[in-house]
Amino acid sequence: MAYNGNLATWAVERQLPPGLVSIDKSVAGSKSLRQQLKDSEAARIELSRRMIDAQEADRTHLSRELHDDIGQSLAVLKIQMLRSWQPEFGGPEGESPNLKELVGRLDAIINKVGRLSHDLHSSTLEYLGLSAAVRSHCLECSRQLGFPIRCHCEGVTEDLDKTLALTFFRILQEGIHNALKHSHATSMQVIVRCTSREVSLEVADDGVGFDVESVKFGTGLGLISIRERIHLAGGQCTIYSGPRNGTRINVSAPFQSRMV
């Protein structure tokens, strides 16, 4: 007799034992639950991917705006102020100290805008690759903070997929930012390794550390961002830390070459 979509009716018509009917229902329910979980996970991954793609698009746009508009406007304003300070351009000599001070402030603003632009969209990463971008970022952070950030890159090739390279660069930025914000570290170490099978990154500090279990399911955006990014890359993240023992973040993902 034809199957009409109802497990119980189908079983009676075929004269199956009641126990087998129960098993059929259980199996069907289990399959349905597994499919729901699978669909839910796929939806979550797709949502995370879209969010990160949107964030990167916004960062690129803002980077260009800061450089091409605000940065250029500030540079022009600086030149105009310098000209107004010089007597031959009609600027009163009595205003010289104030103008010099303002020029110094504008220099600081221009430098801040440049750093912000770099953080949002690294031209070094885009044109020189992950290894150069990691070294440059560590050196810049070390100079700003006044403590050493030792950096070692091994085997990072130019054919590394751009999306994967960006993933690791953003994780590096987040790892250093978290350390500066919470750890009270006096030194840090960054190691990037690349083989034919995987890419790995380690960010370690000598700070105060924390209880990993207590924040494992926390809502801190830094750790969530790191986990989501490496998850989307098909990789894994491990955090080692403890009170007064510093923190070490290890992430790895399968190697992906750049599409030609």
For 157, phi and psi rounded to 5 degrees?
A: -95, 160
pLDDT for 49: 73
pLDDT greater at residue 104 or residue 1: 104
**Residue 125 CB coordination number (10 Å):** 22
Mean pLDDT of the residues in the chain: 77
Q: What is the dihedral of CA 221, 224, 229, 235, to 10 degrees?
A: 160
- Is residue 252 a part of any domain in this protein? yes
Whether residue 255 has pLDDT greater than 90: yes
- Is residue 134 a part of any domain in this protein? no
d(CA 106, CA 70): 12
Q: Which residues contact 189 (CB under 8 A, 6 or more apart)?
A: 149, 150, 151, 152, 202, 203, 204, 205
| Structural contact between residues 256 and 247, judged by C-beta atoms closer than 8 angstroms | no
- Is residue 39 a part of any domain in this protein? yes
- Residue 79 pLDDT grade (very low, low, confident, very high; cuts 50, 70, 90): confident
**Are 164 and 252 in the same domain?**
yes
Both tokens assigned to 259: 């599409």
Whether residue 131 has pLDDT greater than 70: yes
Q: Which residue has the tokens 């987040």?
A: 174
Both tokens assigned to 170: 């953003």
pLDDT for 107: 80
**Are 83 and 197 in the same domain?**
no
Residue 229, burial from CB neighbour count under 10 angstroms (0-12, 13-18, 19+) = buried
- Residue 65 pLDDT grade (very low, low, confident, very high; cuts 50, 70, 90): confident
**Are 107 and 69 in the same domain?**
yes
Both tokens assigned to 240: 């080692």
Intra-chain end-to-end CA distance of the chain, in Å: 57
Q: Which residues contact 120 (CB under 8 A, 6 or more apart)?
A: 59, 60, 62, 63, 66
**Are 97 and 198 in the same domain?**
no
- Give the model confidence (pLDDT) of 11-59 as tens digits: 334 454 555 555 555 666 677 778 778 777 776 776 677 667 767 777 7
pLDDT for 251: 96
pLDDT greater at residue 105 or residue 205: 205
Q: Which amino acid is at 118?
A: H
What are the helix (H) ranges across 86-215? Answer: 96-120, 123-128, 130-145, 162-178, 212-215
**Are 177 and 113 in the same domain?**
no
Whether residue 85 has pLDDT greater than 60: yes
**Are 104 and 161 in the same domain?**
no
**Are 1 and 117 in the same domain?**
yes
| Structural contact between residues 11 and 22, judged by C-beta atoms closer than 8 angstroms | no
> b/e string for 58-88 if b means 16 or more Cβ within 10 A?
ebeeebeebbeeebeeeeeebeebeeebeee
Q: What is the span of the domain harbouring residue 209?
A: 148-260
pLDDT for 151: 96
- Side-by-side strand order, sheet with 198-205: 149-154, 188-194, 198-205, 247-254, 236-241
Q: Considering the entire predicted model, what is its pTM?
A: 0.62
- CATH number for 158: 3.30.565.10
**Are 168 and 69 in the same domain?**
no
- Is residue 139 a part of any domain in this protein? no
d(CA 90, CA 171): 52
Whether residue 191 has pLDDT greater than 70: yes
pLDDT for 133: 93
Whole-number Cα distances in Å, 106 to 79, 80, 148, 199: 11, 12, 28, 41
- Is residue 36 a part of any domain in this protein? yes
How many structural domains does the chain have? 2
d(CA 184, CA 206): 8
